[in-house]
Structure 1
């Protein structure tokens, strides 16, 4: 990861590395236990048309995920850890991220589509798929 500032919103073709880095930073903010309970902070990171297929199989929209995260306790929450995060710019305004998470022993492969908008990079679509770590067996 670099310390480069995010691409200017008006630029026609953002640097691929900077675009991926901006999406990664957004994803990590969404996983931050200090950000998750804040409807304003989460809402700023989610595209108005956001949808998710959760690791539970539940379908989420923007309003339902913001409400669910706001209802969870903010203190005493163990941070969600990530591994193998990688990304690719699919088009000037689209980035795909793939990574794994460990949420208190619940493992999931994750896929996110980030879209650059007039207000910055926002999460457009997310999917989580549970998995078992065969290496621990």
Structure 2
């Protein structure tokens, strides 16, 4: 299960998935909540409307940590570095995602990215 969850998380960071509203819809839970680096929170409808229109950055991730919270809930913590398109500086964040298994399918139900000092 650990490898599956990590692969799903990495898929959500990939340009191919971020540009595909149908795949995003499958991977993101209906009750999804994200707290962005700016402190603004938003749900699944906003993600489905925004991500496919953005030119996706390339992410570098490290220190992936997996915790099984219950038989149907998993937490991932990791570090991420990316450079948004049309920006000069890279951004660094500590990220936490919760994945919930509903009807036999794992979906992200929560995500938070907290800005941090550079680490690469």
Residues 1:79 and 2:58 are matched in the alignment: yes
Residues 1:49 and 2:24 are matched in the alignment: no
Q: How high is the TM-score relative to the length of structure 2? A: 0.88
**Corresponding residue of 1:111:** 96
Is there any run of 5+ residues in structure 1 with no aligned partner, and where? 1-17
Larger radius of gyration: 1
Is there any run of 5+ residues in structure 2 with no aligned partner, and where? 84-89
The Cα of 1:56 is off from its aligned counterpart by 2.1
Q: How high is the TM-score relative to the length of structure 1? A: 0.78
Counting matched residue pairs gives: 114
Tell me, in whole angstroms, the C-alpha distance in 2 between the residues paired with 1:28 and 1:119.
20
Equivalent residues in 2 for 1:120-131, closer than 5 Å: 120-131=105-116
Task: Give the structure with the larger strand fraction.
Answer: 2
The Cα of 1:26 is off from its aligned counterpart by 0.9
**Corresponding residue of 2:75:** 96
- Helix, strand or coil for the counterpart of 1:35? helix
CA RMSD in angstroms comes to 1.4
**Which runs of structure 1 show a deviation greater than 4 angstroms over 4 or more consecutive aligned residues?**
none
